[in-house]
Structures are given as structure tokens and as C-alpha cells.
Amino acid sequence: MATLQKIRNRAGLLIIVIGVALLAFIVGDGLRSGGTLFQMSNNYALKIDGEKIKAEDYHQRLQQLQEAAEANGNHLTDEQRMQLNNQLAEEYIQSIALEKEADALGLKVTPEELIALVLGDGVSPAYQAQQFISQLGINPSDRNAVQTFLEQISDNQIAQLPAEQQGQMRMIKNSWDALLRSVRNERLGSKFNAIMTRSYAINKVDAQFLSDVPSRDVAVVRTPSTILADTTVRATDDEVREYYNKRPRMFIQKYPFTRVEYINVAIRPSAKDYSDALALMNKTRTSLLGASDASTITRNHSEAFAPEYYMSGQELRDIQLPSSLVEFIESSEVGAVNTPSIENDSYSLVKVMAKKSAPSGVQARIIVLDSLNATKADSIVGAINGGAAFADMAMRYSADPQTKAQGGYIIFQDRMGMPDTTLTEAMATMQKLDTLYKVPVGRAFTSTLGATKVIMQVAKAMPEATKYKIAYINLPVTFSEGTFSEKYSTINNILASGKSFDEMAKEAEAKGLEVVRDARVEPTSINLANIPSSREAVSWLLKAKPGEVNEKVFRCGDANLVVATVKEQVPAGTQPFEDVKEDIRDYLTMEKRGDKLATDLEGKKFADLDGYAVAMQASVDTIPSVSLVARGSVTPMLSAHAMTTAINTISKPFRSGTEVMVVKPLREIKTPVGQSQEAQLRQQRRALGQGLGYRAFQQLMRDMDIVDNRAKFF
């Protein structure tokens, strides 16, 4: 029962752990279980290589994800829900791809092996499992305590608990089950990677290359083929079609999509809204001028603060207060209030409540006392103030290993992630350490942080700076109900006309509204284009028929109104030729212009690279250490010409992708290998092996036959 009580007491700490565990490989056992969620003939959310994931199973796991994400009181937006949905779908695909390949290779993770990974029996324990158990207050190295925990979260044990406790325990069990699936898949993946790293060989040519690696310093002139302005050089329709037909794998469309058209009203504040906001800020300014306690005014605004602490001008800039306001603060007397200024659609007010000259920061030391040493606090303080070294006392008495190792100094990361020891007054106050600014430098004192007793000391005060106590109010200018009603009435009247979408679109354009003619949404789309909170519109569009117009105006977020229609439902398979033909034409045209430019340049027969540089509207650059291994800006074609052209000889102009180049090798360097050929081979095998498993698995994922049916249900 002690273990169960620990679980209950620490359940609040598990919110983050539960979320992380459920966001890990959520899928695993039970993929095929379940009955019927929606009474439909095609009752599956995903079909992966013929294996159907029933909508009920998918919905259950998605609900677990959402409940875990909202366990700390947050409310998920439509975008966040869709992100979880997409992540869950991806994890189903990954899990099934891994399981299928593991079955074919004879790989498996036995129940005994899984338990060993949890307990650390003969293998390194799974970190996430150890962390999860620790969060429950259970020692992960205590086998009996872990076994007791596993018994407590069994279905039989949970069923015997009072009803009010069962929900909490089932959430913990769901999180644990998801974590075990993650551990299992991670172990299975490591076995797959181990096989992949041994499934290739380095041939004799590679071995010979490793034993004597030449490189060259090369002068090069390069230019994009677009400098050829010859409009007669253009890919023909037949060439575009031939390219498309010969490369079907380049144009695979794994998922269906919906081609849509829509009218969008992005609601903005009217001139009257701006005028009303300014009037309110002027009224607030008058109140702020006469207020000795600014908090009575700032508390009436959602974006405002009037802290008790002081900040330097640099600190005000660091919190991204507008530079114009910082300049006003630094140049004004106490009591001054600026004239309302607008920046990024927000009016801002600031009052200089007080100013002083004080240390810009302090360096502090701390000794964290456990219950045993807390009774010695006064004698430790007395010893330090009597001349004992703080670092020695910290090493002897502190319960915090980090600060103990740092001589007691409090070290944290600054905004750039670099270690810092300077606590500003604002930082100290927010951490309830403001006493540091009230005691003399070098004087040790006792304090409490929560229930923990500590001894602190200001080790050093930084140079003085002018610091300011301010009150700040920010008022974003938003549209009024009247402005919204006017915009809504405009688009609703267009929709209510009952006309075809084309006719509605023409009317909308005449009224200055945005009309988008050729957009697309997919099952994975979080929003319609860049319109926030438009998932409801996306969900309808994925299920609607071509030509259908929704009978209502979609309100997307707070500031967008949308009327949408389906233009075409495009199935999975191959991307339509009409969608890609212009991209193909541009690519082929670039290649043809590059080839023509290279031919034209070859005919000029320049004697040096400077001549080519003038003709190519470029300059001569030098690239050091070019070898047969293409890297960075050194393309394979550039590398090949650089290594096969004779030293101090100018190559023929050639095309490399969308560029035209001319190279001149300047010198060749024989790089000493520094180690035996066998050692280099081992090094290369390791380097190749590290990436091979990942690439192989990604290829497996690409080859999976996937039918995404989620739009019917979610």
C-alpha cells in the first residue's frame, strides 16, 4: 500500500511524464483490436500495407493523447489537435513498418527482455522507464518496489480501487503501457539498425582510394544559366510530357488531396476602432499621471505591469520594451508619462515611478541545508561571518551537489545559453531572493526557499547603474463588434445570394475581398493555407463533393471569415500533369539554356579564366582541396572536371545542374593518410553504418502503401 500511496501523492508530477510517454511510440500491441465506432462500411482511419487501423482504436489512442496534453489544465487548439493527429498517424506507420520488417528478419523483443530493460537486469536500463518510475517516488533500482508498482497498475488491482481513484490510476497505466511500447520499439529499432550496419561491404576501388587520397586547389568561374536571356531556348510541350512520363517515381502522390477555392475576409480594426483605442489610452494616461500607486490602474489592463523592483535601461531592452519607450524612460524625470504611441497595432504607455543608482547585479552564494544540517544554520552563518571560507562551508554542509562543486556560487544560463552568475534585482525578486539586495556584501544570512532552509551571501556587487521603477500598459487595437458585424454581413449576404461560387467570387472581388482560386488541402493539413484555426473548414472540404459550397460562413479564429468550395477531389497515385508541368518546363529550360550557354562559351575559346569571367558576368574564385568526394558547393560535375583536367589547363565550359562552370586545376596535393588502410576502412564502415539503418528505414516508410481515411472521422 505504501507504493500505491506514493503513486497517488505524486500523480500531479506525472502530467509531463504522461504527455511525453503518450507522445512517444503510442502504437504497438492492440493494433487490430476493437469493434465499431461509426457504423460505416469503410470503418478504418488508416490502411497501412493492407492492415487496417480501425477508427475506434485510432480514436481511443488519439483521445488519450489529447487528455494527456490537457491534463495540466491547458485547452488544445484545433491546430494542436491536428498536430497530435498527424503525429499519431506517423507513429502507426513507423510501428507497422518496423514490425513487418522485424518479422521478416526474425527480430523480436521477448517479454523477459522488455522487463530486463525496465529493471536493468543484465542490460542498460531504459532511461525513460527509470525516469517515469523515479517520478512516482519509487527507487528504480529497487526491484521489489518496481514489481509492486507493476502489480498496483494491473487491471485487476485498479478495478478494486474506489471509483474516484480509478481514473487517475488508469491514466498512469495508459502512460506506462505507451512507454513500454516505446521501449520495445526502440529496442527493436536498434536490432534492425545493427543488422543494417553489417549488410554492406566497401569494394576494392574504395579501399584503394582511401590509401592515397589526392586533392586539388582549383580556380573556377561559375554562373547560373539564367544569364542567357534567349527566350527561344525553351522546353517544348513534348519534352515536358516525355520527362513526366519517363519518371513516374518522381511524381508519386502518396496521399489524396482536395483542390479548393475560397473567399476570405481578414477582419481588421476600422478607423473608428483606432480612434476609440487612442481615446481610452489618453484617458488612462490622465489617470496614470495622478496615481501614486500605478497597480490600481495596471490591474485593469490585461497587458500591463507595475513591478516593485527596479530595472536598468539594458534590462528594459532585454525584455523587448519598444526602444522609443526606453529612450523616454532614460530621458525623463520621475512622474513623467509618455504620450500614447502606437507600434505594431498597439498603443503603449509608460510612467517613470522612481529611479535610483544601484548595483546592476550581484553574484551570490548559497548553501542548501538538509534536515540534519538545518539545525546548524546559525552556527554556520556565525562561522562564515567570523572569517570561515564560504566555499569550504558549502563543500562541507550543502545538500546541493551542483552549487557545492561551484564554491556555493549560483550559476545559471543567460539568454544566449551561456553560464552567468550575475543576478539582477528583477531576477532576485522573482525568485524570492530580494534579500540579496538588502544586506551588505560579504554578510552571510539564513533564508528559506519553500520548505528548505538555506544560507546565502552576496559575494560581489556589480558596478552601479541608473535603474528605473516603471508602470507599463499596452493596449492592442482590436476590431469592435460593429466592425465584425459589418464584415460578416458583407460575406454572409454574398453567400445567401444562392449564386454559383464563380459568381460569388466575382462579387467578392468587386467588394475588395480576397479570393483564392487554386489552393489545396490534404488529410494532414492543419489549416486552410495560412488562415489560423481553419481546421473546421479543412475537415468539411476533405469530405465535400466538387462544386459543393458550404451553407455557412466559417469563422476561423477571431479575425477570418471564409466561404469555400471544392474544385476537385484528387486521388492518391501520380501528381496530375497539369500541376507539375510548369515546374518541369522551368527545370528543362534551365538545363537547355545551360547547355547552350556552355556551347556558346566553348566557341569563344578564351585563353584565360578572366575572359570567361567577363563573358559569364562572374568572377574567378579558388576552391581548395577539391577531391573526387563531392561536398558542399563542390558538385559532382565540378569535382569530376577538377580531378580529370590536367594541371594548369582550362577545362571546356560545362553545365552542372542549373549552373555553367569552367575550371582550372592549379596544383595537386597528396594528403598523407595518417593511418593504415584497414583502420580507415573500419572508420568508414562505422561512418556509413551509422546512417545506413536510418536511410533503410526511411526507404521502407516511403515504400509503404498507405490509405489515409482519417478525414471521414476526425
Question: Over 60: is that where the pLDDT of 8 sits?
Answer: no
Same domain, 507 and 451: no
Instruction: Give which of 95, 86, 84 is closest to 25, Cα–Cα.
Output: 95
In order, the DSSP letters of 568-596 are EEEPSEE--HHHHHHHHHHHHHHHHHHHH
Same domain, 349 and 288: yes
pLDDT in the model for residue 21: 40
- Give the model's pLDDT for residue 23: 40
Number of H helices, E strands in the chain: 26, 24
pLDDT above 90 (res 680): no
Q: What is the DSSP letter of 294?
A: T
> Is there a single domain that holds both residue 291 and residue 380?
no
Residue 291 resides in a domain: yes
One domain, residues 142 and 230: no
CA 179 remoteness from chain centre: 22
Tell me the pLDDT band of 347, cut-offs 50, 70 and 90: very high
Q: Is 487 helix (H, G, I), strand (E, B) or coil?
A: helix
* Grid cell locating 508: 467578392
Residues 237, 155 share a domain: no
What would the grid cell of residue 137 be?
517516488
C-alpha torsion 66→71→75→80, nearest 10: -40
| Residue 533 lies inside a defined structural domain of this protein | yes
Q: Which of 333, 358, 383 finishes a domain?
A: 358
Confidence of residue 210 (pLDDT cuts 50, 70, 90): low
Average pLDDT over residues 672-676: 61
Q: What does the chain come to in residues?
A: 714
Q: Which of 138-147, 157-166, 208-217, 467-476 has the highest mean pLDDT?
A: 467-476
Indicate whether 149 and 185 sit together in one domain.
yes
Domain presence at residue 498: yes
> What are 703's three cell numbers?
515504400
Residue 47 lies in a domain: no
The reported pLDDT for the residue numbered 173 is 85
Q: Evaluate if residue 13 carries a pLDDT over 80.
A: no
487 and 540 together in one domain: yes
Find the domain containing 409 and state its range.
361-462
Same domain, 352 and 294: yes
Indicate the residue among 329, 358, 387 that finishes a domain. Answer: 358
Task: Determine the 3-state secondary structure of 564 from DSSP.
Answer: strand
| DSSP code, position 299 | T
Which CATH number do you get for residue 568? Answer: 3.10.50
Of the two residues 316 and 112, the one the predictor is more confident about is 316
Highest mean pLDDT among 213-217, 224-228, 262-266, 316-320 belongs to 262-266
As a whole number, mean pLDDT of residues 105-125 equals 82
Nearest to 460 by CA among 495, 433, 423, 504: 423
Structure confidence at residue 208 (pLDDT)? 64
Residue 301 domain flag: yes
Q: 416 and 447 share a domain? A: yes
Q: Are residues 184 and 235 in the same domain?
A: no
Residue 381 and residue 422 in one domain: yes
- Is residue 388 domain-resident? yes
Same domain, 449 and 365: yes
- Which of the pair, 667 or 78, is modelled with greater confidence? 667
- For residue 213, give the nearest of 677, 684, 670 by alpha carbon: 670
In this predicted structure, the answer to whether residue 41 has a pLDDT above a threshold of 80 is no
Average pLDDT of the residues in 353-360: 94
Q: Which residue has the cell 500533369?
A: 577
pLDDT-derived band at 207 (thresholds 50, 70, 90) equals low
**Per-residue pLDDT at 674 exceeds 80:** no
User: Using H for helix, E for strand and C for coil, what is the string for 447-472?
Assistant: EEECCEEEEEEEEEECCEEEEEEEEE
Q: Return mean pLDDT, the chain.
A: 86
Query: Which residues make beta-bridge pairs with 671?
Result: 213
Asked if 475 and 346 count as a contact pair (C-beta separation under 8 A), the reply is yes
> Domain count of the chain?
5
Q: Please say if the pLDDT value at position 9 is more than 70.
A: no
152-156, 375-379, 661-665: the lowest-pLDDT one: 152-156
- In angstroms, the CA 152 to CA 145 distance is 10
The residue from 573, 588, 623 where one domain ends is 573
pLDDT for the residue numbered 418: 84
For residue 383, being part of any structural domain is answered with yes
SS3 of residue 560 by DSSP: strand
d(CA 674, CA 679): 10
Tell me the CATH number at 372: 3.10.50.40
Q: How confident is the model at residue 32 (pLDDT cuts 50, 70, 90)?
A: very low
Angstrom CA distances, 654 to 612, 630, 637, 641, stand at: 12, 16, 8, 9
Q: What is the distance between the alpha carbons of residues 259 and 567, in angstroms, rounded to a whole number?
A: 5
Q: What is the dihedral of CA 556, 562, 565, 568, to 10 degrees?
A: -60
Q: Which residues contact 580 (CB under 8 A, 6 or more apart)?
A: 244, 251
- Mean pLDDT of all residues in 377-401: 94
Please indicate, yes or no, if residue 177 is contained in any of the structural domains: yes
